[in-house]
Chains A and B, each alone.
Chain A
Amino acid sequence: MKPKGWKDLPPGSVITRPGSATEFKTGSWRTFRPVWVPENCIQCLFCWMYCPDMAIKVKDGKREEFDYDYCKGCGICARECPGKKGQKAIIMVEEGK
């Protein structure tokens, strides 16, 4: 897509299309990546509740894989995860490793 020139812009940088933020993939901001460990997951959905970026996909009441297009790697999910018998179901791994 050709980048917009100044003549193409709406006045006052107003965004007139709702929901257009989904076109801006913020996953590239991530330094640490959350990794889901299904065998330790009790499906409490704390991660889904706490995630500020709606980056945890849920289907039929059960969590699935992370949506890495929007996960910024804040680590809140890993911190809140109760895990199973002291074993976390989400661990943070440095990107590129």
Chain B
Amino acid sequence: MAKVVAVTGNEAVANALRQANPDVCAAYPITPQTDIMQRFSGFVADGLVNTELILVESEHSAMSACVGASAGGGRVITATSSQGLALMWEILFIAAGDRLPIVMPLVNRALSAPLNIHGDHSDGMGARDSGWIQLWSENAQEAYDNTLQAFRIAEHMDIRLPVMVCLDGFIISHSIERIEYLEDDAVKNFIGEFKQLNPLLDVEHPVSYGPLILPDLYMEYKRAQHEVMTKVSKVVLDVAADFEKISGRRYGLFEPYRLDDADIALVILNSAAGTAKDAVDQFRDRGIRAGLVKPRLFRPFPYQEIADALKSAKAICVMDRADSFGGFGPMYMEIASAMMMNGKKPILINKIYGLGGRDFLPEHAELVLSELADVAKSGKARTFKEYIGVRE
């Protein structure tokens, strides 16, 4: 039986980590993630988990310790945000390249400078090409559910890749919501025992991790790394189907919202998608066929599936809570690529919103939908990239 609780996003994620009972956790504090590892260290101190907690001197060391522990043959976690993820940078690629199934909640926060502790997606989007699987979460329930599913996906014998579970800093991490916890036993059965693959600590079968690979073989390894990513979508869906059986909650590669006959559509990640769905409902009530896509699996990106879901749309706005200065927002570039798959060319515009925790309000979503309705009617975009909710 599920237990209904009122908890913050961080508390929910920490509880998911407790239920997964990892072997090793290497942690370093950073706002707004600190709360997760603080609560988890409490579980360690109270003997509720069998985890060796390693308190390190930086996030670079945290991820390095995770790489070592994971190659050693254990279930390994950490969590971070923003500058912490940036400091992990070089080790992120090693975790993925060595195919180590580390699970890491990422509480999304803006990057310096200027210094800002609030939520945006610059950190996670920056790690886009690191080879990690990324799951994004709209609310505390999704963050909890995604964290549990992340272990199954990461540790799947066909995959063995690290997984980042993204949730919005403060908006989700520090707000109390009603969520449903699964029973510990149900989670234990769902995640299962950790299976080792080439563990360093198996001294009967010595292995080496991280060899020097020169031009004669490096590209073959990178090609193989891409190949394993092509298998991730199926595993994510299989794990979601199993998860639905124990939770009653359905997950896909993305959430389509009122899309079937949509003329205009928003593509928007995480917490702001909840706000935007209300605006979509209002437009539907007024007879305007609006819809929304909320991506969940961002790496690997489900290009074909999202292209198919958006097939009826004449005008689409991709909303990015991160920027590429001198370029389009990162999600826009993905959707533009997806649109090439079916050879259809809806008008595709990009809005940058909510940087550094700036509120995304219902009127922002309404303004964008109104503009999209005009664009769909006239067949012309006013502008392709624009910042919204910003003072002139």
Contact = CB atoms under 8 A, between A and B. Distances in A.
B47 interface: no
Interface of B: 97-100, 160, 197-198, 205-211, 213, 216-217, 219-221, 223-224, 227-228
B221 A9 contact: yes
Interface string A1-20: 00111110111111110100
A12 B98 contact: yes
Nearest to A12: B99
Contacts of A5: 220
A6 B216 CA distance: 11
Contact of A12 (B100, B206, B216): B100
B220 A4 contact: yes
Contact of B97 (A13, A15, A16): A13
A3 B216 contact: yes
Interface residues of A, number: 14
Contact of B209 (A4, A14, A18): A14
Interface in A1-55: 3-7, 9-16, 18
A7 B224 contact: yes
Contacts of B197: 11
B102 to A, nearest CB: 12
A13 B223 contact: no
Contacts of A14: 98-99, 198, 207-209
B208 to A, nearest CB: 4
A36 to B, nearest CB: 30
Given A9-B217, A9-B221, A13-B211, 13 more contacts: A3-B216, A4-B220, A5-B220, A6-B224, A7-B224, A9-B220, A10-B198, A12-B98, A12-B209, A13-B210, A14-B99, A14-B207, A18-B207
B205 A11 contact: no
A87 B100 CA distance: 54
A12 B97 contact: yes
B220 A16 contact: no
A5 B217 CA distance: 8
A10 B219 CA distance: 14
Contact of A13 (B213, B227, B228): B213
Contacts, number: 51
Interface of A: 3-7, 9-16, 18
A16 B223 contact: no
A59 to B, nearest CB: 28
Q: Which interface residue of A5, A6, A10, A12 has the most chain B CB atoms within 10 A?
A: A12
A12 to B, nearest CB: 3
A11 to B, nearest CB: 4
B205 A13 contact: no
Nearest to A10: B198
A11 B160 contact: yes
Contacts of A18: 206-208
A9 B225 CA distance: 10
Report the 8 A-B pairs with minimum CB-CB distance, sorted nearest first: A12-B99, A6-B220, A6-B223, A15-B208, A18-B206, A12-B98, A11-B99, A6-B224
A24 to B, nearest CB: 10
Given A3-B216, A4-B217, A16 B224 contact: no
A89 B197 CA distance: 49
A6 B160 CA distance: 17
A12 B222 CA distance: 10
Given A7-B224, A11-B99, A16 B160 contact: no
A35 B175 CA distance: 73
A10 B217 CA distance: 12
Nearest to A18: B206
A31 B219 CA distance: 29
Given A12-B160, A13-B98, A6 B207 contact: no
Nearest to A7: B224
A14 B72 CA distance: 12
Contact of A6 (B97, B211, B227): B227
